[in-house]
Amino acid sequence: MKVHSALRHMPSILRKRRPIQLTFFVTRKCNARCPWCFYLNSRDPSADGELLSLPEIREISGSLGRLLWVAFSGGEVFLRGDLAEIGAIFHDRNRPRIMLFPTNGLLPEATVEQTERILRRCPGSVIVVKVSLDGLNGDHDELRRSPGAFEKALETYRSLGRLRSRYTNLELGINTVFLSENQDRMDEIIDFVAGLDIRGTHTISMIRGNLAEERYKSVDVGKYRRATDRLERNLKDGVASIHSFAGSRLKAAQDILQRQLIHQTLLADRRLVPCYAGNLNLVLTETGEIHPCEVLGSSLGNVRAHGYDVGRLLKSDRARDILGPIADGACHCTHECNFIMNILFNPGLYPALFKEYLGLGRVRPDAAAAPAASAGTASCPSTAKTDSAGR
C-alpha cells in the first residue's frame, strides 16, 4: 500500500479553515515520574473524567476529515493497551501521512509488540516512534526518576530498529528535552545519539508548560543555540541522520529553520510568526477536551457535549472567543509541533525554508543509513513526557 500523500493538504497553505494536525493525549498514566512534565502537573479539571472509548474515538475521528499528521501523546502512550486499535481508526478514516508515537522506552517488549501491530495495521502512514533520552546513564535515570530507564530506553530503541528490515514505513528517532539540568551535557548527548548503531533522527525539544518546579525552565538561550548548531553541523557533515520517507529533506530543512525561530523567539520574548493553533492544529485530551494547543490552558469545549463533532465544537461561541486572540498574536511559545505547521504552511517563510533546504547540500536519507562515528554504540559510557512527540 502506498503511503498517503502529503500533497492533498496543499490547499491549506492558502485556506486554513480546518485542522490537519491532531495531537491526541491518549492517557494521563505514566510509568516515569519526570518532575518537569507539564502534562502530569497540569491542573486540568477534566483530568478525572472518563477515558474516551474506542467507539467515541471513532466518532471523533470521523468528524475530522483528512489529516496530515497525528501525534499521540500522554502520559506514556504504550501503557494504553488499545493503542494499535486507536492508530488504526485514524489511519483508516483520516489517512494521515505521519503518525507519531513518543515513548519513554520503559516498556521494551510492549512497545515493540504494539508498534509491530500498528505497522501491520497502518501501512498507509509513516509510523514514527521517538524514544526520549535526556541524559546518559544515571543522568537520564535521575531526570526521569526511574532507575534503569537509560538501559531500557536503549533496549527499546534497538529492538524497534530490528523491525525496520520488515517495515519500510517505520522511522525511528530520539528526542531530548532541553532543560536546566541537562543543558551543559548536550554535546555528549548529541554525540552519543549520532554514534548509535541504529539509524534515527535526533530532535531537541525546549522545555515548556506550567511545571510543578519552574527551576527546570531556567535555561540559557545561548546554550540552546549551541546545541542546535551542533545538531545542524552533524547533519550537514553526514554524522547525523534524517528520515528516509519522501519529503524528509524538506522536513529536515524545516527542523533547522524551526530551531532558529525558537531561538529568536526566546531572545525576543514575543511571537515572531503567525500561529495556526486552533485552525490547522488541535489537541484532544484523553477525556475529550479540545484545546487549540498544548501550551494555553484553555479548552474550547468537550467533544462529548458537541455530539463528537469537532467541526461543530469549533463553531461555538466559546471556541471563537478563545481562537480570536490567538489569531491576533496574544500569546507566544516555542512548541515545536506548532512550529511545524507555522513554517510549512506559511508562504512568507518559504524563502528561508528554501535556503535551508539548499544548505543541506548533498545530505540524502540513504546516506543516513551508515552508522557514523563510533562514539557511543553498544558500549555506551555508562527519556519527555514533556512532549507530545517529541517533536
Contact region for ligand SF4 (CB under 6 A) — 27-35, 184-192, 303-311, 327-335?
Answer: 327-335
CB of 311 to ligand SF4, least distance (A): 20
- For residue 73, the cross-strand partners are 25
CB of 205 to ligand SF4, least distance (A): 13
CB of 273 to ligand SF4, least distance (A): 9
Task: Of 124, 125, 118, 201, give the one whose Cα is nearest residue 163.
Answer: 118
Query: Which residues make Cβ contacts (< 8 Å) with residue 106, sequence separation at least 6?
Result: 31, 32, 76, 146, 149, 152, 153, 156, 383
- Please give the helix or strand (H or E) that residue 177 lies within, else none: strand 170-178
**Whether the Cβ atoms of residue 52 and residue 60 lie closer than 8 Å to each other:** yes
Q: Among 117, 217, 271, 364, which residue interacts with ligand SF4 (rule: CB under 6 A)?
A: 271
Of the pair 128, 341, the CB lying nearest ligand SF4 is at: 341
Of the pair 118, 293, the CB lying nearest ligand SF4 is at: 293
Q: Among 6, 326, 341, 363, which residue interacts with ligand SF4 (rule: CB under 6 A)?
A: 326
Site string for ligand SF4, 69-108 (x = CB under 6 A): ----------------------------------------
Burial 60-74 (b: 16+ CB within 10 A, else e): bbebbeebbbbbbbb
Amino acid making up residue 25: F
Query: Binders of ligand SF4 among 281-320, rule CB under 6 A?
Result: 292-293, 295-296
Site string for ligand SF4, 208-247 (x = CB under 6 A): ----------------------------------------
Of the pair 51, 273, the CB lying nearest ligand SF4 is at: 273
Task: Of 142, 20, 137, give the one whose Cα is nearest residue 382.
Answer: 137
Query: Binders of ligand SF4 among 8-47, rule CB under 6 A?
Result: none
Of the pair 163, 273, the CB lying nearest ligand SF4 is at: 273
By CB under 6 A, tell whether 335 contacts ligand SF4. Answer: yes
CB of 364 to ligand SF4, least distance (A): 32
CB of 329 to ligand SF4, least distance (A): 8
What is the spatial distance between Cα 391 and Cα 365, in angstroms, rounded to a whole number?
A: 19
By CB under 6 A, tell whether 170 contacts ligand SF4. Answer: no
What is the spatial distance between Cα 113 and Cα 320, in angstroms, rounded to a whole number?
A: 42
Q: Among 18, 304, 332, 364, which residue interacts with ligand SF4 (rule: CB under 6 A)?
A: 332
Contact region for ligand SF4 (CB under 6 A) — 198-206, 231-239, 256-264, 328-336?
Answer: 328-336
Of the pair 244, 279, the CB lying nearest ligand SF4 is at: 279
Contact region for ligand SF4 (CB under 6 A) — 42-50, 54-62, 251-259, 329-337?
Answer: 329-337
Cell of 71: 501525534
* E-assigned strand segments in 8-48: 21-25
By CB under 6 A, tell whether 207 contacts ligand SF4. Answer: no
Query: Which residues make Cβ contacts (< 8 Å) with residue 74, sequence separation at least 6?
Result: 25, 26, 27, 28, 29, 30, 39, 80, 286, 385
Q: Among 70, 77, 160, 277, which residue interacts with ligand SF4 (rule: CB under 6 A)?
A: 277
Amino acid making up residue 285: T
* H-helix segments, 164-300: 186-194, 221-236, 248-268
**Whether the Cβ atoms of residue 37 and residue 73 lie closer than 8 Å to each other:** no
**Category of 364 on φ-ψ map: left (φ > 0), alpha (ψ -120 to 50) or beta:** beta
Which residues of this protein are in contact with ligand SF4, per CB under 6 A? Answer: 271, 275, 277, 292-293, 295-296, 326, 331-333, 335, 338
